[in-house]
Structure 1
Amino acid sequence: MPENASRSTVIRRYAPEDEDAAVDVWSRAGGPAHPFIPGEGEGERARKMREVYLVHAENWVAETDGRVVALLGLLDAEIGGLFVAPEAQGTGVGRRLVEHAAALHGSLTLEVYEKNTGARGFYARLGFVEASRRVDEEYDEVMLRLTRPATENRA
C-alpha cells in the first residue's frame, strides 16, 4: 500500500480555530515560494494574513488525518492564495483545493509571481493560461494573471 493510501483528506471551510495552523502552513509554504519578498512568512506579512486575508476571503482548508495541511483563499472566482505545507506538496491536495474552487465558481483567475516557477508549473498542469502581466509596485516584481475557463468534466 502506498504511504499516502491510509491518509484521509477532507476539504472544508476554514474556521477561526484554524488560524494558527493556517498561518503556519502559509509561513512554511510562502517563504520558500517567495524568497524575493522581504519578510514573507513572518512579521507584518503574518499580521496581514491573520487580520485581513483570513478574515475577508472565503477560505478553505485541506485537513489530512485531522491536521490542516493546505489553505485556499478565494475572492469570488479569484484564487487569492493557495498554500500547501511542504510535507503535503505533491500529494494532490493542492489540485483538490483548486478543483473545489472550480466546482464552486466555474472559471477561475489568479495572480502568481513570475519568479514562482513551481506554482506556475502547477497551475499550467491544471489548465491555467497567462492572460496578462503587471508589475507589483510594492515589491517591483512581475505578476502574471492566469485564467482557467469552466469545464464540464475536468479530470
Structure 2
Amino acid sequence: MPTVARMEEIIIRRYEASDEAAVVDLWSRAVKLAHPFIEGEGEGERARKLREIYLVAADNWVAETSGAAVGLLGLLGAEIGGLFVAPEAQGRGVGRALVEHAAALHGEVTLEVFEGNTRARRFYDLMGFIERGRRTDEETGHVLISMRRPAVRTTETVTAR
C-alpha cells in the first residue's frame, strides 16, 4: 500500500513579542539563502533593524506548523514589507498562505523584491504579481523590482432573501 504524505496544517497568527527569537532565527536563515549577494545579510546591523524597527513598526504575522514558527509576514499597510519562510519549510505552501493572508486583509498588495532573488521572483510571478518598476536600493546598491498583485474580483452575486 503506498504511503501518502500528509500536508501539515499552516496556522497564521499575529506576531507576539515572545516570537522574537524564533522569527529572527528563521529570517536570518531565509535571507542568507535568498540574498547571498548582500554582504552581512541576516546578521549585525540588518538583524538589529529587524528587531528594533520592523518587528515593532510593521503589522507582523507568523505562520506555524506543528507549533513551530516557519514563516514571517510583515505588512506596512497593503505593502508586503517582508515575507520570510524558514529554508526547511520552503515549498510547502507557507509563503502562499502568507501572501493569501495579506490579500485577504488588503485586496491589492504590493512589494519589492531584489532582482537577484530569482527564486522569490518566480514565486511572486506564480502568485499573480506584476512588475511595475525598478529602483536601486540605497542601502545595498542592488536593484529592487516593485510588484503589484491586483485584488481578486469574484463574479458571484449575492441574492437577498
Category of TM-score, reference length = shorter chain: over 0.9
1:19 aligns with 2:20: yes
Counterpart residue type for residue 108 of structure 2 = S
- Once residues 128 and 9 of structure 2 are traced to their aligned partners in structure 1, the CA distance between those partners, rounded to angstroms, is 26
For 2:41, what is the secondary structure of its paired residue? coil
1:107 aligns with 2:113: no
Name 1:69's counterpart in structure 2. 70
Name 2:43's counterpart in structure 1. 42
- Once residues 119 and 13 of structure 2 are traced to their aligned partners in structure 1, the CA distance between those partners, rounded to angstroms, is 25
Relative distance call for 1:151 and 1:140 in structure 2 (3 A) is same
Percent identity among equivalent residues? 64
- Once residues 32 and 5 of structure 2 are traced to their aligned partners in structure 1, the CA distance between those partners, rounded to angstroms, is 27
Name 2:157's counterpart in structure 1. none
Relative distance call for 1:2 and 1:27 in structure 2 (3 A) is farther
Q: Which has the larger radius of gyration?
A: 2
Deviation >2 Å, runs of 4+: 1-5
Name 2:145's counterpart in structure 1. 144
Task: Provide the TM-score with structure 1 as the length reference.
Answer: 0.95
**Deviation string for 1:44-94 (max 9, x for gaps)?**
111111000000000001010000000000000000000000110000010
Name 1:3's counterpart in structure 2. 5
Residues 55-66 of structure 1 mapped to structure 2, 5 A cutoff: 55-66=56-67
Counterpart residue type for residue 58 of structure 2 = A
- Once residues 43 and 24 of structure 1 are traced to their aligned partners in structure 2, the CA distance between those partners, rounded to angstroms, is 13
TM-superposed CA distance for 1:4, in Å, is 4.0
- Once residues 54 and 2 of structure 1 are traced to their aligned partners in structure 2, the CA distance between those partners, rounded to angstroms, is 38
Relative distance call for 1:138 and 1:9 in structure 2 (3 A) is same
Residues 95-134 of structure 1 mapped to structure 2, 5 A cutoff: 95-134=96-135
